[in-house]
Structure 1
Amino acid sequence: MAPKVLVTRILPPQTQAHLLEQDFDLFQWQQDCCIPRDVLLEKIKGVDALFCLLTEKIDNELLDAAGPQLRVIATMSVGYDHIDVNAVKSRNIALGYTPDVLTDATADLTVLLALGASRRIKESIRAAENGQWGKWAPTWLCGSQFTNKTLGIVGLGRIGEAVGERLKAFNVGRIIYSGRTEKPSAQAKLNAEFVSFGTLLQESDVIVVCCALTKDTENLFNYEAFSKMKKSVVFINSARGGIVHQDDLVRALDENLIGAVGLDVTTPEPLPPTHKLYTFPNCVILPHVGSATYETRENMAGMTLQNILAGLDNRSLPYSI
């Protein structure tokens, strides 16, 4: 009997074709949107494998609905804060993700946000489009550059290191970082200095958030944190929206405590177009496109399918959590 597999979204072309070649009893959500929770809970019943995204909450309710036949869950994501890992593993379900695949794409996007926010790209585009572009003026739409500035990286993992390597090319004067532990190898590559979180907040001209969302980092950037930053700081978050207390960010922008902000992640996602964050001219918001290159998304989907195939074959997952 063919294994029953649930896939919660249409995949990039190469992996989609490979998926359809498999001898699966396949249900795949066909619409270009998140599978509704009630549909997911209904279709998960009796499946052998679940191919999911970070948009699906994998919790006890879903696992109970699936039943004992579920053998493998593979998420097409590097982060897995949407999964109750303990609940999955307590049921002896193999669990996979896609590590080390989106570093370059996300680092590129993070640098894009940093440059865009610091050089007032949102205001500049609007000025050109809305007819505000007049004769050249010495101080009109002047932003800041990174030369000799202090870059602070929160979370010097693979993505944080890649961001640091890229921004070094813009002649930053100093790189500092904070996190749970020191990272000697990355520190040596970047000539970076490990500092306390408080020191990073106070001394950085550019702050880039690259850490994972955990109980320790949830709402790490709150009003108190924003109050300690330089008022000219460029603040960038391309990690997870929950690391920032969003109402406190709004308050900090209202009180001009921050020079510029660039966000690729928010809470919730999608962020409603009526949200106040959009009203600030110095706040650039992107719709969580950090890994959105054809190359990266195809790699992520391919790795996830490899995990599904391995789990169904009772082999160790090549990319397991």
Structure 2
Amino acid sequence: MQKILVARPIFPDVIERLKQYFDVDWNNGDALPADELARRLADKDGALTAGDPIGAAELAAAPKLRVVANMAVGYNNFDMAAFNAANVLGTNTPDVLNETTADFGWALMMATARRITESEHFLRAGKWQKWAYDMMLGADVYGSTLGIVGMGRIGQAIARRAKGFNMRVVYHNRSRVAPEIEAELNAEYRTKEALLREADHVVLVLPYTPENHHTIGAAEFALMKPTATLTNIARGGIVDDAALAEALRERRIAAAGLDVFEGEPSVHPALLTVPNVVLTPHIASASEATRRAMANLAADNLIAALGAGPRAGRPPNPINSAVMGKTRS
């Protein structure tokens, strides 16, 4: 049987499914250090990962490896230049998490706007002694302007939800979406700078690339309204976390909600000291149904790419399909 590595804990029934086709080496513990990951990949034909960094060194150490299936939409943990050079296929799991992630983006945005975390800490600390007209004043969501940076599948799902809140929607994207999508979403295209000036609530839903590193930093915070909020459900590194902490401390923006961080699971220490931020541990897609769908789709990709199952040779979500059918180099 072909050998695969499952590099992270996932649902045991998905492991049993993979065992129907492969000899499975399952790491059902903490993330593997780089040297251990390379060692366990050495004799594998395929791998299923969830954010584990795979680059030229890991590929060179695994001469039989032909496919790595990422249990995520984003794949910035893959060095795609190295994948292409080695003729190794990478796959991801888009679409199955769109609605769950959009729901969470809204939850995080609303918690940020209405100071939910801050007010809970206030209550738990025993500071709520009386009613006051100015206690925990937040920002309205209904009838405000929503700015979406990244109008892909999840960005569009977020925009659809804005209709129920009677929000004006402006968006920025690498390229404009089709006119019929703009009409459906009642969304207006803006440059990034114009969006930041106009929006009451900015939500980031763009992929991480080297070009997008620190897309939002000190200069961008200077453009935003002092009453505005920022929500990041995209990827760490898109926001300059140090500059964000400073902007929050100095009240240059009102508040932020973050599900992703630079260098996660580490969090910039300054973000832990400001009250006007809601922090969650990268859980935007974390409903049981969605995580199961992601795991099964990653398994589908791996099974098909290694020539097994009903879709043999036709994985649902290849990232670099040009390498399919090529000999491993």
TM class, shorter-length: over 0.9
Of the three residues 73, 77, 80, the one matched with 2:75 is 80
Offset of residue 198 of structure 1: 0.8
Q: Deviations over 1:117-153 (max 9, x none)?
A: 1101111111221111222222211211113211111
Match of 1:197 in 2: 192
The two structures, once aligned, show a CA RMSD in angstroms of 1.4
Give me the whole-angstrom Cα distance separating, in 2, the residues matched to 1:237 and 1:185: 27
Q: Deviations over 1:271-303 (max 9, x none)?
A: 24x711011111111000011111111111101
Match of 2:57 in 1: 61
Unaligned runs of 5+ in 2: 320-329
Q: Does the aligned pair in 2 maintain the 1:111–1:167 contact within 8 Å?
A: no
Q: Does the aligned pair in 1 maintain the 2:18–2:303 contact within 8 Å?
A: no
Which residue identity does 2:4 align to in structure 1? V
Of the three residues 45, 48, 55, the one matched with 2:42 is 45
Match of 1:19 in 2: 18
What is the TM-score of this pair, normalised by structure 2?
A: 0.92
Offset of residue 23 of structure 1: 4.2
Of the three residues 298, 302, 305, the one matched with 2:299 is 305
Which residue identity does 1:299 align to in structure 2? A
What is the TM-score of this pair, normalised by structure 1?
A: 0.94
Which residue identity does 1:59 align to in structure 2? G
1:175 and 2:172 correspond: no
1:140 and 2:138 correspond: no
Q: Does the aligned pair in 2 maintain the 1:178–1:196 contact within 8 Å?
A: yes
Which residue identity does 1:27 align to in structure 2? D
Matching of residues 245-284 of structure 1 within 5 Å: 245-272=240-267, 275-284=269-278
Give me the whole-angstrom Cα distance separating, in 1, the residues matched to 2:58 and 2:270: 34
Which residue identity does 1:9 align to in structure 2? R
Structure 2 vs 1, CA of residues 179 and 23 (structure 1 numbering), >3 Å: closer, same or farther? Answer: closer
Give me the whole-angstrom Cα distance separating, in 2, the residues matched to 1:27 and 1:257: 50
Match of 2:32 in 1: 35
Which residue identity does 1:148 align to in structure 2? G
Offset of residue 209 of structure 1: 0.4
Offset of residue 166 of structure 1: 1.5
Give me the whole-angstrom Cα distance separating, in 2, the residues matched to 1:138 and 1:250: 28
Unaligned runs of 5+ in 1: none
Q: Secondary structure at the match of 2:68?
A: strand
Give me the whole-angstrom Cα distance separating, in 2, the residues matched to 1:237 and 1:70: 34
Q: Does the aligned pair in 1 maintain the 2:242–2:270 contact within 8 Å?
A: no
Give me the whole-angstrom Cα distance separating, in 2, the residues matched to 1:288 and 1:24: 30
Q: Secondary structure at the match of 1:262?
A: strand
Offset of residue 102 of structure 1: 0.8
Q: Percent identity?
A: 38
Q: How many residues align?
A: 314
Q: Does the aligned pair in 2 maintain the 1:10–1:16 contact within 8 Å?
A: no
Q: Secondary structure at the match of 2:24?
A: strand
Which residue identity does 2:206 align to in structure 1? C
1:315 and 2:313 correspond: yes
Which residue identity does 1:65 align to in structure 2? A
Runs of 4+ in 1 over 3 A off after TM superposition: none
Which residue identity does 1:25 align to in structure 2? D
